[in-house]
Amino acid sequence: MSSSDVRALEPQALWNCFADLNAVPRPSKREERVVAFVCAFAEKHGLQPQIDTAGNVIIRKPASADRQHRPAVIMQAHLDMVHKAGDGVKFDFDQQGIDMWVDGDWVRARGTTLGADNGLGAAAILAVLAAQDLSHPPIEALFTLDEEQGMGGALGLQPGLLTGKTMLNLDSEEDDTFTIGCAGGIDTHVTYEYQEITHASPGLVADIQISGLRGGHSGLQIHEGRANANKLMARILSACGEQVVALSTMRGGSARNAIPTQCTARVVVLNPAQFEECFQHEAAGIRDEFRLIEPGLSITRTTAQVAGDSVQTMSAEAQRAFVLAMQALVNGVYRMSPVVPGLVEASSNFSTIDLTHGKAVISSLQRSSVESSKVDVARSFRAPFELIGAQAHSGDPYPGWSPSAESPILDKMKRLYHDLFGHEVKIGACHAGLECGVIAMAYPDLDMISFGPNIHEAHSEKECASVSSAQKFWKLLTATLAEL
């Protein structure tokens, strides 16, 4: 089955908008093409798009005949997506649309992220804007930019542009849960400049590769104990030690908000016999520890093909300090919430590393639903690098979203959900960044709720969206609009 089969799914209005959206490249910070697509879509349907100073798109649609004189409702989703291909998959995201297929009840992409996060939410808004047969109040559709790389669009949203007092955020990923709170986040970056030494006629040069990990969303999956490829590589390098291997290059991870699935390091082997023993012992231990949760884990070492007759590596002193810092950095769950059972309060993700030519650059993302612990976990990530003289700083923070004790939209949608589906909806908060908290800085009086269809493995090439759940989501969305 191919992308054309996706267009045949019900509701066709939703899936056709999603297929059209997925044909347009839309990486964070380079959303020009998808903004042009959305604006053209609006004009095609007789609506006038507005682009604000942050690049966000606002499209207003008058109320249907039966909902005249009702207050406007804001429908919000972000246009960007995480562009990530699987290990060994060659895909030109700048030129190719997402290659989708239908697998029973699931829509998947071949070898890449699907873009259901947040493409299905954006597609739902487009479908509502295009519809002629839906009952709805005046709509203010807000399409934000750069959500996946720091909430840039939401942070730049200016007060006074929107008149609605109720906002439907369509960026949640469980169809039986209404989200009314989320974590805030902060990025931490590290730069470490180190002394290099030259190995003339270096003998054995090896490439160590870790791949095949599950990866996933660094907020939603952080509590599941999934392996982080960058941390595993630090562990192997530490086990071998600077007297056995000299580190030349190290690269891992692809996105700040994704658990890294692969990491590669090139080393000059100083003691081949001891390297083999240390490597095999540590790799065996890792495989055993993660055998249940990471069935695709691969840890290999191969002889590298070296251009020229010398190799540059870190000095032994610099390598020891840096590898120990990577071992010590905070990664994974930092603290569970004492208020909400089962909810992660604070976490950290060792997102990417690029080490070569005398400089190592690291990116990471810390999240917390409590502002003080967000600052603390970022400080803890920086600490081991500052101890070795690296430059470390945290920036681009965005706030969390605190649940409201009184929410008319929550009360209304709880009743609607029960009437439509015959059981109570769950109410929760998530350990991921939603734009609600950021938007509330400019519009503090908004009554907000977040909901969406079932989407699994977001931010990874295994991302998939449920067809039946999308139907449920659409039914709830349209029923809600008809009552607002």
Catalytic positions: 80, 147
Tell me how far apart the alpha carbons of residues 287 and 140 are, in angstroms, rounded to a whole number. Answer: 51
User: Which residues lie across from 480 on neighbouring strands?
Assistant: none
Cβ atoms within 10 Å, residue 462: 17
- DSSP of 311-328, one letter per residue? EEEE-HHHHHHHHHHHHH
Please return the burial class of 190, using the count of CB atoms within 10 Å of its CB with bins 0-12, 13-18 and 19+.
buried
Report which DSSP code applies to 224: G
Shortest CA distance to 229 belongs to which of 84, 351, 324? 351
Peptide bond before residue 138 is cis, with ω within 30 degrees of 0: no
Query: What does the block give as tokens for 356?
Result: 């070569």
How far apart CA 334 and CA 345 sit, in angstroms, is: 8
Query: In which region does residue 227 sit, left (phi positive, over 0), alpha (psi from -120 to 50) or beta (all else)?
Result: beta
Q: Tell me the C-alpha distance between 254 and 130, whole Å.
A: 36
Residue with tokens 């259901």: 116
| Tokens read off for 211 | 């791949």
Question: The tokens of 95 are what?
Answer: 């030129």
